[in-house]
C-alpha cells in the first residue's frame, strides 16, 4: 500500500495495512535540525536534510528523501517556505541574525544562545489605534513572492511520487498573525475596545490567504496535478492549556467566520481535498464550530490540555473528523520521559485512536531540540511494532 493510499484510507475512516505516519508533511508535524541530526546519527543514518529550510524561524527542516523513505513517512509537503531566499534576506550583526517575515515582523537569533528565532518587533504596536493604523501594514511584493513560490512548488512536487501530497500554508493563522502584527497586549485589548480594527486586520489576512491558495491551486491546475493534492493545511491556535484564548462566543463571532470563508473558497476550487486545521490547546468547545466551518482534520490533538480527553474526542467526533497527531506528548513525555514511558504512551494512544481509521500518527506538534535520539526511536519503533492493523 502506498502512502497516498494509506492516508486516503485514514481520511475516509477505514483501516489500512498500518496507521499512517507523517513526518515533515507540514511545518507543525516536523522536526528541528538538531533533533533530526542527533536521531539519524544514533542509527548510522545520514544526518542530511534539504538545504532550503522550510521554516528557519522554528529551525524546522525537511529530511532527505532517502531518510523519509527509511522512516516510512506517508506524506510529502508542498508550499512556501517561511522566509523566502533566506541567505539573501538575512542580516547579520556580529553573532545575531535578523530576518523579516511576510508581514514585516522582525525575528532575531544568536546561534550561540538561541535554539530558535525570537520575535523582536510588532509592526502595528507603536500605534494607539488599530483601526487607524491597519492600512500601514507591510505586505510583500506579491508578483515577486508568487514567482518564488511557483519555483518552490515545482521543485518540491518532484518528491511527491506515491505519497500523500499536503499543500501547506505560508503564514500563521488569523489570531497568530494578528498578535504578531499588533502585539499581544494591544490585540487582546483591541478585541474589546476596537473590534472594527480587529475585523479589518483579520480581513486583510483572509484576503492574503485566499491569494496564496489561489496561487497554489492555479499552479497545480496548470501542472495538471491538482487531483494529487489530498490535503490543504491551515492553522490558528485558538486554545491555551486550560481554556480558549478568548471567550468562545468572541471567537465564534470574530475568527471562525473567517476560517469558514477560507475553507469554503478552497473547497470550491479543490472539492476533493480535505482541510487540515492545526489548533493547539483546549479547544473541545470549538470543535463543532470548526467542523461546521469546514474542518476535516484536527491537529495536533493536544490531549494534555483541559477537556481534550482522547477517548471522549474519538467517541464524540471520530466519525466526523480525522485526528492527525496526538501520538505522543511533546511537552513532557517525548522530551523528558524515559524511552519506556514514550513506548507506553504511544501504545496507549494507538489503542484509543487507531481503531476504525480516522487517525494519522504524528506527535503533539513538532519534535523539538530537547528530544533525545533514544526517545525519538522509542516512539518510531513502537509505532512500527504496534501500529499495524489486522
Phi–psi pair at 63, nearest 5 degrees: -60, 155
Q: Determine how β-strand 96-100 pairs with β-strand 91-93.
A: antiparallel
Counted residue by residue, the chain has a size of 390
Phi–psi pair at 209, nearest 5 degrees: -65, -45
What does the angle CA 20 – CA 310 – CA 236 come to, to the nearest 5 degrees? 75
> 3-386 adopts what CATH topology?
TIM Barrel (3.20.20)
Looking at residue 138, what is its pLDDT? 87
Looking at residue 185, what is its pLDDT? 98
Looking at residue 243, what is its pLDDT? 98
Q: Which residues pair with 232 in a beta bridge?
A: 167, 275
N- to C-terminal Cα distance for the chain? Answer: 14
Angle of helix 174-182 versus helix 195-223 axis, rounded to 10: 120
Grid cell digits, residue 189: 485589548
| DSSP-assigned states of every residue in 269-291 | H-TTPEEEEE--SS-GGGHHHHH
**224 in the Ramachandran plot: left (φ > 0), alpha (ψ -120 to 50) or beta?**
left
Q: Kind and range of the H or E element at 76?
A: strand 75-78
Cα 61 to chain centroid, rounded: 13
Question: What residue spans define the domains of the chain?
Answer: 3-386
Using the Cα atoms of residue 318, residue 79, residue 72 and residue 337 in order, give the sign of their dihedral. Answer: negative
233 within 8 A of 169, measured Cβ to Cβ: yes
From first to last of its 390 residues, the chain has per-residue pLDDT tens of 999 999 999 999 999 999 999 999 999 999 999 999 999 999 999 999 999 999 999 999 999 999 999 999 999 999 999 999 999 999 999 999 999 999 999 999 999 999 999 999 999 999 999 999 999 998 888 889 999 999 999 999 999 999 999 999 999 999 999 999 999 999 999 999 999 999 999 999 999 999 999 999 999 999 999 999 999 999 999 999 999 999 999 999 999 999 999 999 999 999 999 999 999 999 999 999 999 999 999 999 999 999 999 999 999 999 999 999 999 999 999 999 999 999 999 999 999 999 999 999 999 999 999 999 999 999 999 999 999 998
263 within 8 A of 294, measured Cβ to Cβ: yes
**14 in the Ramachandran plot: left (φ > 0), alpha (ψ -120 to 50) or beta?**
beta
117 within 8 A of 96, measured Cβ to Cβ: no
Looking at residue 390, what is its pLDDT? 84
- Whole-angstrom Cα distance, residue 322 to residue 10? 7
pTM of the model: 0.97
Going by C-alpha positions, the residue among 371, 370, 313, 300 that lies closest to residue 342 is: 371
Residues 6+ apart with CB under 8 A from 21: 71, 72, 73, 74, 360, 361, 362, 383, 387
- Whole-angstrom Cα distance, residue 146 to residue 134? 23
Looking at residue 140, what is its pLDDT? 86
Angle of helix 339-353 versus helix 310-317 axis, rounded to 10: 20
- Whole-angstrom Cα distance, residue 233 to residue 351? 26
Cα 259 to chain centroid, rounded: 15
Grid cell digits, residue 224: 495538471
Amino acid at each position: 500500500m502506498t502512502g497516498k493510499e494509506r492516508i486516503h484510507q485514514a481520511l475516509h475512516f477505514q483501516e489500512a495495512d498500518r496507521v499512517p505516519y507523517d513526518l515533515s508533511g507540514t511545518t507543525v508535524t516536523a522536526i528541528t535540525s538538531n533533533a533530526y541530526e542527533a536521531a539519524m546519527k544514533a542509527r548510522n543514518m545520514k544526518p542530511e536534510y534539504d538545504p532550503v529550510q522550510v521554516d528557519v524561524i522554528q529551525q524546522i527542516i525537511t529530511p532527505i528523501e532517502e531518510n523519509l523513505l527509511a522512516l516510512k513517512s506517508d506524506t510529502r509537503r508542498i508550499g512556501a517556505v517561511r522566509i523566502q531566499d533566506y541567505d539573501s534576506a538575512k542580516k547579520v550583526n556580529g553573532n545575531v541574525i535578523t530576518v523579516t517575515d511576510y508581514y514585516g515582523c522582525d525575528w532575531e537569533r544568536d546561534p550561540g544562545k538561541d535554539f530558535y528565532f525570537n520575535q523582536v518587533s510588532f509592526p502595528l504596536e507603536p500605534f494607539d489605534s488599530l483601526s487607524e493604523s491597519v492600512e500601514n501594514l507591510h505586505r510583500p511584493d506579491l508578483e515577486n513572492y508568487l514567482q518564488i513560490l511557483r519555483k518552490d512548488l515545482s521543485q518540491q512536487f518532484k518528491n511527491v511520487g506515491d505519497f500523500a501530497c499536503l499543500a501547506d500554508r505560508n503564514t500563521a493563522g488569523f489570531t497568530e498573525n494578528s498578535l504578531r502584527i499588533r502585539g499581544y497586549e494591544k490585540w487582546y485589548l483591541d478585541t474589546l475596545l476596537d473590534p472594527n480594527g480587529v475585523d479589518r486586520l483579520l480581513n486583510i489576512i483572509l484576503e492574503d490567504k485566499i491569494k496564496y491558495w489561489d496561487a497554489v491551486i492555479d499552479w497545480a491546475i496548470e501542472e495538471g496535478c491538482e487531483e494529487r493534492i489530498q490535503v490543504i493545511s491551515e492553522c490558528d491556535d485558538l486554545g491555551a492549556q486550560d481554556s480558549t484564548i478568548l471567550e468562545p462566543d468572541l471567537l465564534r463571532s470574530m475568527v471562525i467566520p473567517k476560517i469558514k470563508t477560507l475553507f469554503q473558497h478552497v473547497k470550491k476550487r479543490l472539492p476533493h481535498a480535505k482541510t487540515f486545521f492545526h489548533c493547539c490547546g483546549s479547544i473541545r468547545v470549538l470543535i463543532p464550530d470548526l467542523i461546521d466551518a469546514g474542518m476535516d482534520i484536527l491537529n495536533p490533538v493536544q490531549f494534555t490540555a483541559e477537556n481534550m480527553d482522547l477517548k471522549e474526542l474519538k467517541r464524540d467526533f471520530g466519525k466526523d473528523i480525522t485526528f492527525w497527531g496526538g501520538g505522543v506528548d511533546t511537552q513532557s513525555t517525548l522530551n523528558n520521559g524515559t524511552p519506556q514511558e514514550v513506548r507506553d504512551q504511544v501504545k496507549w494512544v494507538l489503542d484509543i485512536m487507531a481503531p476504525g481509521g480516522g487517525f494519522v500518527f504524528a506527535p503533539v506538534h513538532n519534535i523539538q531540540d530537547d528530544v533525545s535520539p533514544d526517545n525519538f526511536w522509542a516512539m518510531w519503533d513502537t509505532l512500527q511494532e504496534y501500529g499495524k492493523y489486522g
